[in-house]
Amino acid sequence: GAGVSQSPSNKVTEKGKDVELRCDPISGHTALYWYRQSLGQGLEFLIYFQGNSAPDKSGLPSDRFSAERTGGSVSTLTIQRTQQEDSAVYLCASSPGLGPITQYFGPGTRLTVL
């Protein structure tokens, strides 16, 4: 079956521009997660959704970062006024629910801010 998909796979942008990253979770998965992975580093948790609701946004690095999810499916992560330190791979994962349940990851979007 189809896994988690993300688009674009690569994004190169200029400092100060806004970018939008998209995640399509596995069909039927109610929970969706965003992570960031810097070069050679582990994954940094950003935000999660249960349905369309994001109960805790404290993991977002700054107020330039926002995320939304509509229809309990597709999610977008928006970064406004991008900075060079935003360069990373942004990974999305989904799971059938919250808690101790395996999260399935997409291939990620590699963001490069020049």
Q: Which residues bind other proteins (CB under 8 A)?
A: 4, 31, 33, 35, 41-48, 50, 55-56, 58-59, 91, 93, 98-100, 102-108
Helix (H, G, I), strand (E, B) or coil at 84: helix
Nearest CB to other proteins, comparing residues 32 and 113 = 32
Kindly tell me which of 1 and 55 has the beta carbon lying closer to other proteins.
55
**Is 13:110 a contact under the CB 8 Å cutoff?**
no
Q: Which of 26, 61, 31 is nearest to 46 (CA)?
A: 61
Residue placing its CB nearer to other proteins in the complex, 34 or 86: 34
Query: Is 56 within 8 Å of 47 (Cβ atoms)?
Result: yes
CB of 60 to other proteins, least distance (A): 11
Q: How far is the CB of 107 from other proteins (least distance, A)?
A: 5
**Cα(91)–Cα(94) distance, rounded to whole angstroms?**
10
